[in-house]
Amino acid sequence: MTTTYTVTVTRDEDVWLAEATTRDGRPVTALDFDDFDDLHTTMPEAIADMIDTDPADITIDWRYEIMGHDITEPLKAAKAASAELKRVQSKRDQALSFAITSMRDAGLSQAVIGDVVGLSKQRVSQILANHAHRRRVRDDPHQPVAG
């Protein structure tokens, strides 16, 4: 069974303060963080440790209050928009790679392809090299992957 906790994040001097409470307002734990991203990974674990459960059994209702202003909804909207942008950029990159390789297969030069898609010849060359590398790795599972 999943239990929901509210974590209210505030800014105190030069740290982020995250205070976890039960749904009825009872305090669970409070931690401070230098890095905003750290609190999102650490707080579920800290709450789970305090109540002796698995972090997967916890749902967090994040609240963000800065100097008396509740910025929860604007921040959630910005994070959702960023996630959507990443998704769309990935889709664009895949479509662009397919278009570039299709034009190359049709015999166009990298310079002409760049002109068509609005990229430099050098960027087209990088995309084609990346595509060729991914295809080699996909076709040969024993191919070492560069890190």
Strand-pairing partners, residue 60, are 5
Q: Residue 134: its pLDDT value, please?
A: 72
pLDDT (tens digit per residue) in 20-64: 999 999 999 999 999 999 999 999 999 999 999 999 999 999 999
DSSP state of 34: S
What is the pTM (predicted TM-score) of this model? 0.68
Give the span between the Cα atoms of 11 and 17, in whole angstroms.
6
Name the strands in the sheet holding 27-33, side by side, starting at the edge strand that comes first in the sequence. 27-33, 15-21, 3-12, 58-66, 69-70
pLDDT (tens digit per residue) in 98-133: 999 999 999 999 999 999 999 999 999 999 998 876
